[in-house]
Every structure is written in structure tokens, then in C-alpha cells.
Amino acid sequence: MLPVALTRYFADSQLKVESFVGDENTLAVRIEKEIGPETGIIKFRQVAFMSLPTYLPGESIRSRLIAEAEVDFWSRCKLDRNEFDKDDILFEIESQDGPVYFVVAKSLDYEILAEPGVAPGRGGT
């Protein structure tokens, strides 16, 4: 479910919320990867829920269907399972500081903005 280009060298990255477009429910997060180095934009599409600070040092990212979410997610979001569609995807972003943050969306796109020696490209689910 996650683009390989996004997960590659995710550890030791810096994430910053760039924008949220309400009428499209699109969340854009800038990622600066130390290794590579690489800069990109993660776009979460049709966001249903998010628990994400404006800035965080990233350690890892993983995804699964919302139906597979564990108790930790449900205790933090405080929403009923019926609030989400069966095809919603839970994206879990682990911070280097320890906490895990959440975005529930229909899909995610990743666009590389800058990587030395390589033309910009796209990846997505």
C-alpha cells in the first residue's frame, strides 16, 4: 500500500505539515530525508481523520485497512468504527521521539521534489 520511494530511507526524516485543503480533504506533508538526501511531498487523499503534529522527526510509516486497526488507534481517535468506510486506510507514522501518529485516508501519493542526480518522479497507491 505504500510507495517504495516513500519508505526507502524514511528513518531519520523530518516531516512538516504543508497544507490541508478542506474541500478536497487532502493533507500535504513535506518530508526531508537525511539519507539520499531526498525531499518530497506526501499527499493523503480523502482524509477522514488525522492525529498529526505540524512537525515531527519521522522513524517509520506503515499502513493497513482501518478494519485491522488495533486498540491503540481506537483509544486515541475516540470515534466509532462505523465512522469510517471499509476501504479507508490507516497510515501510522512513528516519531523518533516514540509516539505514533495517525492519518486515515483513502489513498496516499508521494512525489519526490529533489534528489541529487535523479529527475523528480511520482509514486502512489
Closest CA to 13 of 65, 63, 56, 68: 56
Q: Write the pLDDT tens digit of every residue in 13-65.
A: 999 999 999 899 999 999 999 887 899 999 999 999 999 999 999 999 999 99
Residue 99 belongs to a domain: yes
Q: How many domains does the chain contain in total?
A: 1
Rounded to a whole number of angstroms, the CA Rg of the chain reads 14
Share of the chain above pLDDT 90, in %: 70
| Residue 110 in domain | yes
Asked whether residue 123 is domain-assigned, the answer is no
Q: Per the domain annotation, does 125 fall within a domain?
A: no
Task: Say what the pLDDT of residue 1 is.
Answer: 72
- At 79-93, the pLDDT tens digits run 888 889 999 999 999
Task: For residue 49, tell me if it sits in a domain.
Answer: yes
Proportion of the chain above pLDDT 70, given as a percent: 90
Domain of residue 80 covers 4-116
Q: Which of 57, 35, 39 is nearest to 101 (CA)?
A: 57
SS3 106: coil
62: in domain: yes
**pLDDT value at 121 more than 60:** no
Q: Residue 88 domain-assigned?
A: yes
CB atoms within 10 A of CB 119: 6
Q: Please give the model's pTM, rounded to 2 decimal places.
A: 0.86
In a domain, 121, yes or no: no
